[in-house]
Amino acid sequence: MPNFLETILAQLKRADGRVVLREIRGDRFVSVTGRELLDQIQLVRTFIRRSGVQPGDRCALLAANSIRWAVFHLALMAEGAIVVPLYSRQAPAELAGMMRDCQPRLIFVSDAALGESVVQSWPEAPRRVLFDEVPRQSAPQTPLADAPNPRPDSDVVTIIYTSGTSGEPKGVCLNVGNLTHMLSCTTERLDQLMGATHEPDRVFHYLPFNFAASTILLLSCLARESVLTLSTDLNRLADEIHLVSPNYFLNVPTLLERVRRGVEEAIAKRPVVIRWLFRRARTAWQRQHVGRGRALDALWLALGRGLIFRKIRERFGAHLRALICGSAPLAPQTQQFFLMLGIPVLQAYGLTETTGICTLDDPRVPVEPGYVGTVITGIEMKLAENEEIVVRGPHIFPGYWNRPEETARVLQDGWFHTGDQGQVNVRGNWRMSGRIKNLIILNSGHNIAPEPIEEKIARLLPAAQQVVVVGNGRGYLCALVTGEVESAAVQAVLDAVNPELPHYRQVRNFTILREVFTPESGLLTAMGKIRRDAINARYASEINAMFDSKGSREALSRQHA
């Protein structure tokens, strides 16, 4: 059986004159065919050989998404190197820390300024190679074979650094066997989604390639008959999506939540008859969705679909089959919103250590909002102590780079301990309920997962950018709320949420922070996940003040500019 890399290079050879990869540049496409991509890969492979890179050497890849990213990634793997993909917008000091850890032989960068920013934080950095330098230096004297160098399944092909939500990033090693198995699973699910079709998949992508899920999408598309189109301007996402008109694309919850809020805000500004019809149609859909439809619901829903929902859906183009969403749980209300529009959102769950995916919604059956699908083929998942999800199978990583103690802690008796809490229903669909390391333990001994409480508050407070519940070691819970929100609005939401919760899970006080958490401030990961330890440290005085305040139990608020 061929491994993932052999499959991809063979597929590119079959796609000789067909476009397989392209970038959006304004209103036009820059494209490459299978043969053109192979030719570029061969040029880079020649350069790698001449540079003295040996099998097993680490080589860093630091650039924004592009055709050339794919070229360098595939060429390095084909030559036996270990690719270390990095995020071009990450803080230079953090990038330097990751590279100090893995000690790359070469650093491939898209532009000189990006390379220089790393050197300022790491003067001893190894040789930097600009993408543009390689074609000029590497015209092969004799053609190379399209096939990659032989690599056993145990061979590490990439080190992907975790986002570091609560500590120093760790290098996750993934091997040939991990990626080969994962591509067989993604191919199975995508075949189920696309069904019998004679046209290549139309795929759009905007998330950074240095993340495991993005890497898997890139490799999956190149292994299939696909046309993968890369975004080059995140400020024009809506226009780019409409231009590409994809069959599917990968998302994070932040974008889908933003789309839902944007639509609802736009509807609120429309004439009263449109607002009235939208409310009627949404209520009718919600009743029908739970099997409690009324006599006129079909009429209101038909009018809503014809006059409102169809126009919203058209923004995604005429070919959309589904949206795929991962990295964090999607609010059930948002998933239901897209279902109402006729757009299934297929949720996935996984970690870098599980080669990106453990579960994925089956596109052949109705999705369950709030759940992240069933386990993929060939793996096992179960609940261990404290409802922790543990997993085993051929997709589990062999270990962290240079961290044997960390590896031994999470890999026990063949099972990977995810650190996530979850539940599974009778249909085999999994739900995520929180992170064990995020558990807040009150001084009363109660253990509380903050995520469900944060989700409830955020859902009722759309003007808030982030909600972070705190209280570890304290007597009760408080919350940090970011964005342009008013104290009265936050208090009203707490007054609505708290009575539904047991006393120990009620939020007794809050502070509004005008500073929104961002990756640049170090308070969010690049994928938008909250860095709780960093937030607790940055706002220690504000957090202490909430608990020290004599009026805490009456939920007094303080606003900070």
To the nearest 10 degrees (0 to 180), the angle between helices 332-341 and 272-289 is 110
Is it true that 4-173 and 253-318+321-436 share their CATH fold? Answer: yes
Q: Over range 228-232, report the average pLDDT.
A: 96
Q: Is the pLDDT of residue 136 over 50?
A: yes
pLDDT at 234: 86
Question: According to the model, what pLDDT value does residue 550 have?
Answer: 42
What are 157-196's pLDDT values in tens digits? 999 998 665 557 899 999 999 999 999 999 999 999 999 8
Give the DSSP per-residue string, 498-551. GGGS-GGG-EEEEEEESSPP-TTTTSB-TTS-B-HHHHHHHTHHHHHHHHH-TT
- Cα angle: 331, vertex 213, 367; to 5 degrees: 40
* pLDDT of 197 higher than 90: no
User: Under CATH, which architecture does the 439-560 domain have?
Assistant: 2-Layer Sandwich (3.30)
Is the model's pLDDT at 225 over the cut of 90? yes
Indicate if the pLDDT at residue 141 is higher than 80.
no
Identify the helix (H) or strand (E) that includes residue 448: strand 447-448
Predicted pLDDT of residue 553: 41
Asked if the model's pLDDT at residue 475 lies above 90, the reply is no
For 253-318+321-436, CATH gives 3.40.50.12780
CA-CA distance, 155 to 174, in Å (whole number)? 8
Q: Per mean pLDDT, which of 60-69, 90-99, 457-466 is the most reliable?
A: 60-69
All structural domains of the chain with their residue ranges: 4-173, 253-318+321-436, 439-560
**Those residues with Cβ within 8 angstroms of residue 223's Cβ, 6 or more apart along the chain or in another chain:** 4, 7, 8, 11, 183, 187
Distance CA(465)–CA(461), nearest Å, equals 9
Buried b (16+ CB within 10 A) or exposed e, 502-540: eebbbbbbbbbbeeebebeebbbbbbbbbbbebbeebbe
Top CATH class, 4-173: alpha beta
Q: What is the distance between the alpha carbons of residues 42 and 44, in angstroms, rounded to a whole number?
A: 5
What per-residue confidence (pLDDT) applies to 93? 85
Instruction: State residue 302 phi and psi, 5-degree precision.
Output: -65, -40
What pTM value is reported for the model? 0.84
Query: How confident is residue 453, by pLDDT bands cut at 50, 70 and 90?
Result: very high
Average pLDDT over residues 305-326: 94
What per-residue string of b and e applies to 410-425 under the rule 16 or more CB within 10 Å gives b? Answer: bbeeebbbbbbbbebe
- Tell which residue, 469, 481, 477, has the closest CA to residue 434: 469
Q: Token digits for 461?
A: 């407070």
